[in-house]
């Protein structure tokens, strides 16, 4: 047993399998919580365990249905607060609304900040997340935030594959820092794709900085949404003479035309983590490998409870 009876780990309905894996790593039983809907669609939560004075963790990704899962998380936090929990940590493997982190047009919201305010107002005393899309999101919170990266999990996977002649390709300029870290971790070359976004769904990769000819390309990003960026980049690197194309992401959203695009693309393999559960049409439609972040989150929960540093869980 890693933890004692002063700790309770609860799971929302977004990703029950991940909750089971985390609790399995920690050697604890998932906390009891009844979650159901009233006839009019409102969510109802009842905590079955005594949480008075205890250190509570709620594992809930705010993935599709985003609003429903977010509201469920807020209600669970409020429930624990009113049940006199000592500390409430919202463990959010995937943080929805993270991309709306600034005003890039007139009369638009900064929804990432709004969600941060809602979590704090509900009663969360700490947030634990993975790859929040942008580092500045940590500053949106008035409570402590532990910002993990899935890099250790994904780097291990790539190292174990022993890829010959690897080149890390950043699918866009904004991902260069992440790509550079992977270059040092797996000792690969670096190339950068310059893309032009046509609209919210479509992108066009125009040119590439660096050489990919005769090499095996690895592209890693924080998320795959409609797959426009990676599919466009894969087409370009293949045109430039690349051999195999492997694409990875922490969060596999696979929205809209993503599956169809990947099926018709030059991508040979895709890997994602289990921060978001994959739909059946995704599993059956494309060649995707799922890596688990359960151990990473479980170890982080253990260290947060013991007031220990989690810095060593990150690759340097």
Got the DSSP string for 135-193?
A: GGGGGG-SS-EEEE-SHHHHHHHHHHHT-SSEEEEESSGGGHHHHHHHHHHHT-EEEEE
pLDDT at 204 over 80: no
66-86 per-residue burial string, b: 16 or more CB within 10 A, e: under 16:
eebbbebbbbbbbbbbebebe
pLDDT of residue 153: 97
128-158 per-residue burial string, b: 16 or more CB within 10 A, e: under 16:
bbbbbbbeebeebbeeebbbbbbbbbbbeeb
Active-site residue (options: 21, 195, 215, 302)? 195
pLDDT at 306 over 80: yes
pLDDT of residue 198: 54
pLDDT of residue 316: 45
pLDDT of residue 1: 46
pLDDT of residue 122: 98
* pLDDT tens-digit series, residues 7-50: 999 999 999 999 999 999 999 999 999 999 999 999 999 999 99
Cα dihedral: 270, 211, 135, 157 (round 10) = 40
- Residues with Cβ within 8 Å of 174's Cβ and at least 6 positions away in sequence, in order, are none
State the DSSP H helix or E strand holding residue 40, giving kind and residue range, or none if neither. Answer: none
> Is-catalytic flag, 156?
no
- What is the pTM assigned to this prediction? 0.94
Binding site residues for D-ribose 5-phosphate, as ranges? 197, 221
Cα 11 to Cα 311: distance, rounded to the nearest angstrom: 25
Confidence of residue 200 (pLDDT cuts 50, 70, 90): low
Binding site residues, as ranges? 40-42, 99-100, 133, 172, 197, 221
Confidence of residue 157 (pLDDT cuts 50, 70, 90): very high
Q: Which of 44-53, 118-127, 172-181 has the lowest mean pLDDT?
A: 172-181
Rounded mean pLDDT of 211-235?
95
pLDDT at 119 over 80: yes
* pLDDT tens-digit series, residues 236-270: 999 999 999 999 999 999 999 999 999 999 999 99
CA distances from 55 to 4, 298, 305 (A): 10, 14, 7
List, in order of start, the domains of the chain with CATH numbers. Answer: 7-148 (3.40.50.2020), 151-292 (3.40.50.2020)
Binding site residues for ATP, as ranges? 40-42, 99-100
Confidence of residue 206 (pLDDT cuts 50, 70, 90): confident
pLDDT of residue 133: 85
């Amino acid at each position: 047993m890693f933890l004692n009876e002063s700790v309770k780990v609860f799971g929302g309905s977004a990703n029950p399998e991940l909750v089971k894996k985390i609790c399995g790593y920690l050697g604890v039983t998932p906390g009891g919580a009844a979650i159901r809907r009233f006839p009019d669609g409102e969510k109802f939560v009842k905590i079955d365990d005594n949480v008075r004075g205890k250190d509570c963790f709620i594992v809930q990704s705010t993935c599709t249905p985003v609003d429903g899962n977010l509201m469920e998380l807020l209600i669970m936090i409020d429930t624990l607060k009113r049940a006199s929990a000592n500390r409430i940590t919202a463990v959010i493997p995937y943080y929805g609304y993270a991309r709306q982190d600034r005003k890039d047009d007139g009369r638009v919201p900064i929804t990432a900040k709004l969600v941060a305010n809602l979590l704090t107002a509900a009663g969360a005393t700490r947030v634990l997340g993975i790859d929040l899309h942008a580092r500045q999101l940590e500053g949106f919170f008035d409570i402590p935030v532990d910002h993990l990266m899935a890099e250790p999990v994904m780097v291990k996977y790539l190292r174990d594959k022993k890829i010959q002649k690897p080149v890390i390709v950043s699918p866009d300029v904004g991902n260069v820092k992440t790509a550079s870290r992977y270059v040092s971790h797996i000792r690969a070359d670096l190339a950068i794709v310059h893309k032009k976004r046509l609209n919210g769904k479509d992108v066009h990769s125009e040119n590439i900085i660096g050489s990919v000819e005769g090499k095996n390309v690895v592209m890693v990003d924080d998320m795959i949404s409609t797959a426009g960026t990676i599919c466009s980049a894969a087409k370009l690197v293949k045109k430039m003479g690349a051999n195999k194309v492997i694409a990875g992401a922490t969060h596999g959203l696979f929205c809209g035309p993503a599956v169809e695009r990947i099926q018709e693309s030059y991508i040979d393999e895709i890997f994602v983590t289990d921060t978001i559960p994959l739909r059946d049409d995704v599993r059956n439609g494309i060649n995707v490998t799922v890596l688990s972040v359960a151990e990473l989150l479980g170890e982080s929960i253990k260290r947060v409870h013991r007031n220990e540093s989690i810095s060593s869980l990150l690759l340097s």
